[in-house]
Amino acid sequence: MTMKLKYLDEMREIGNPYPNSEYIEKWKENGGKVIGWICNYVPEEIIHAAKMLPYRMTGASEEIEMEDGDAYLHIYSCSFTRSCCQLAVEGKFKFLDGFVSTAMCDGSRRLADVIDHYGFVDLIASLGVPRKFDEKSEALYRREIFQFKKRLEAYSESEISDDSIRDSIRLYNRTRQLLKELYDLRKLDAPPVSGAETLEVLNAVTRMPREKFNEILEKLLAEIKGRRLNSDWKVRLMIDGSIIQNIDFVKSIEELGGLVAMDGLCNGARYWEGEVDTGLEPIPALSRYYLNKFPCPRFYPPTVRTDKVMNLIKEFRIEGIICQIIRYCNTHTWDFPILRSEVEEIGIPTLRLDTEYGQGATGRIKTRVQAFIEMLQERKVAR
């Protein structure tokens, strides 16, 4: 029997129910401020340095009715942004003291527009994010972060010092180190932690104070290291895509014998990968880090992202990739043919799954995943 993880339970308790957990309510009662952010390219360190709680705005982690989301954002916006919009219209984000977005994609741009225009939450800033990795882009992004800091200072009526940003960077780097440790365990032949459990950790990381999260994750890692999991999986998989938060989705894949050993998700490895250089001035360091981490597929050239995926395939001994594309996500839709052609050249098959955000593994999806796993197994035998 699989040993239950006490500290994972603790994380789960703090982070749920989403969005407004009891923990957050208490935090607010004690005078704490909470700032929502939506995209990986919002530097949380700045919010933390302003003594506020950065909180990732997402949709519900399950499929919900999105009548309002459809009405305000139109059905051609991706279902992630519509789900966020639905919760915003329902007043579920009322506890947020402000909201920060980016112009990363049409969805996040238009969601920020709607939230701001109809006053669902106060929009503090929407950052422009360059699409390239060169020095000019870094300089542009530096200015965006600087402007964001200024706006947040005006909003909070207090100055954000460089020293406090440095402290926050150190704290957030610690999270990155811990998450890397967690991911590294998944390189093992019989990882002591499943992909579904890892996703629970990822859901928790942006829903509680970072100090608290790091403390629990350290304990959780110790707990995990002394544990053995069933190792009757058939193939090692990577899940790529924008954002997945439905634990059951990953659990179902694993129950079918696909070990989810790595991911290229927006709320997964793309969220935490790398570390901010503490030897640089804080804002330039943030600009460099955010623009150079495991990139979102909207960046140019695409080879930076595909090279990254290729390295991860080797590192984690991946045998197949499940590309989950949230309906109406243009960024991943257009990236898919490029990624597929590159990884198939090195013999890694892909399975494309078009799903709604929050969707669990339905019968149809399970059948397709099962067939994919069988195909991968047969290839293995044939070798």
Partner 1 sequence: MKIDEVKTDMWFKAMDSWFGMCRHMAEKPSSSKANKLYYELYVKYYERLISATEKGNIVVHPTSVPTEIIYAMDLVPMLVTSSTWQMAYSLKMFDKVLAIAKDYGIMDETCSVHRMIGAFAFKGWFPKPVAFVYAAGGCDAFCGSSRLLSHLYDVPTYCIDTPYHYTGQDIAYLTLQLDEMVNLLEETTGRKMDWDRLKESITIAQKQMELFQEIRELRKAVPSPMENRRAWQLNWFNWIYAGSDDGVAFFRTLRDELKERVEKGVGVPGVEEKFRLLDLFMAPAHSFKLLDWMQKERGANIVSETLIRYDNDVVLNPDKPLESLARKWAGGPLWNELQGTTDDVVRAAVEDAKAYKVDGAIWWDNNSCRQCGCIRMTRDGLLDKIGIPTALVTCDIMDPAFTTYDEMKDSLAQFFELLDSRERS
Candidate residues 169, 352, 357, 358; the one interacting with partner 1 per rule CB under 8 A: 352
Q: Is 40 a binder of partner 1 (CB under 8 A)?
A: no
User: Which CB sits closer to partner 1, 108 or 198?
Assistant: 108
Q: Is 230 a binder of partner 1 (CB under 8 A)?
A: no
| Part of the chain binding partner 1 (CB under 8 A), chosen from 21-29, 130-138, 221-229, 256-264 | 130-138
Q: Which of 221, 151, 167 is nearest to 7 (CA)?
A: 221
Cis peptide bond prior to 19, omega within 30° of 0: yes
User: Taking the CA of residue 237 as centre, how many other CA atoms within 13 Å lie in the half-sphere pointing to its CB?
Assistant: 34
Candidate residues 28, 176, 327, 366; the one interacting with partner 1 per rule CB under 8 A: 327
* End-to-end CA separation in angstroms for the chain: 33
Smallest distance, partner 1 to C-beta of residue 137, A: 7
What is the C-alpha separation between 142 and 136, in angstroms, rounded? 10
Size of the site for partner 1 (CB under 8 A): 48
Contact criterion met (CB below 8 Å) for 319 and 348: yes
Q: Is 355 a binder of partner 1 (CB under 8 A)?
A: no
User: Which CB sits closer to partner 1, 231 or 362?
Assistant: 362
Q: Is 72 a binder of partner 1 (CB under 8 A)?
A: yes
What is the C-alpha separation between 46 and 156, in angstroms, rounded? 12
Q: Is 105 a binder of partner 1 (CB under 8 A)?
A: yes
| Part of the chain binding partner 1 (CB under 8 A), chosen from 30-38, 108-116, 198-206, 217-225 | 108-116
Q: Is 113 a binder of partner 1 (CB under 8 A)?
A: yes
Pairing of strands 34-37, 350-355: unpaired
State the Cα angle at 369 between 83 and 65, rounded to 5°. 20
Smallest distance, partner 1 to C-beta of residue 84, A: 12
What is the biggest distance separating any 2 CA atoms in the chain, rounded to whole angstroms?
66
What is the C-alpha separation between 113 and 121, in angstroms, rounded? 11
Candidate residues 3, 25, 71, 158; the one interacting with partner 1 per rule CB under 8 A: 71
Contact criterion met (CB below 8 Å) for 101 and 126: yes
Q: Is 304 a binder of partner 1 (CB under 8 A)?
A: no
Place of tokens 């990968």: 273
User: Which CB sits closer to partner 1, 10 or 106?
Assistant: 106
Q: Is 324 a binder of partner 1 (CB under 8 A)?
A: no
Smallest distance, partner 1 to C-beta of residue 126, A: 7
Helices (H), the chain: 6-15, 22-29, 44-49, 67-73, 79-89, 106-117, 135-156, 162-185, 195-205, 210-225, 247-255, 269-272, 282-292, 302-315, 330-345, 363-382
Residues 270-299 that bind partner 1 (CB under 8 A): 298
Candidate residues 39, 87, 96, 114; the one interacting with partner 1 per rule CB under 8 A: 114
| Part of the chain binding partner 1 (CB under 8 A), chosen from 31-39, 210-218, 300-308, 314-322 | 300-308
Candidate residues 32, 274, 302, 360; the one interacting with partner 1 per rule CB under 8 A: 302
Tokens of 84: 């966020």
User: Which CB sits closer to partner 1, 221 or 291?
Assistant: 291
Q: Which residues contact 62 (CB under 8 A, 6 or more apart)?
A: 246, 358, 360
Cis peptide bond prior to 301, omega within 30° of 0: yes
Candidate residues 6, 74, 94, 380; the one interacting with partner 1 per rule CB under 8 A: 74
Q: Which residues contact 9 (CB under 8 A, 6 or more apart)?
A: none
Candidate residues 336, 348, 358, 373; the one interacting with partner 1 per rule CB under 8 A: 336
Contact residues: partner 1, CB under 8 A:
71-74, 76-77, 103, 105-107, 109-111, 113-114, 116-117, 126-132, 136-137, 139-140, 143, 298, 300-302, 325, 327-328, 330-331, 333-338, 340-341, 352, 354
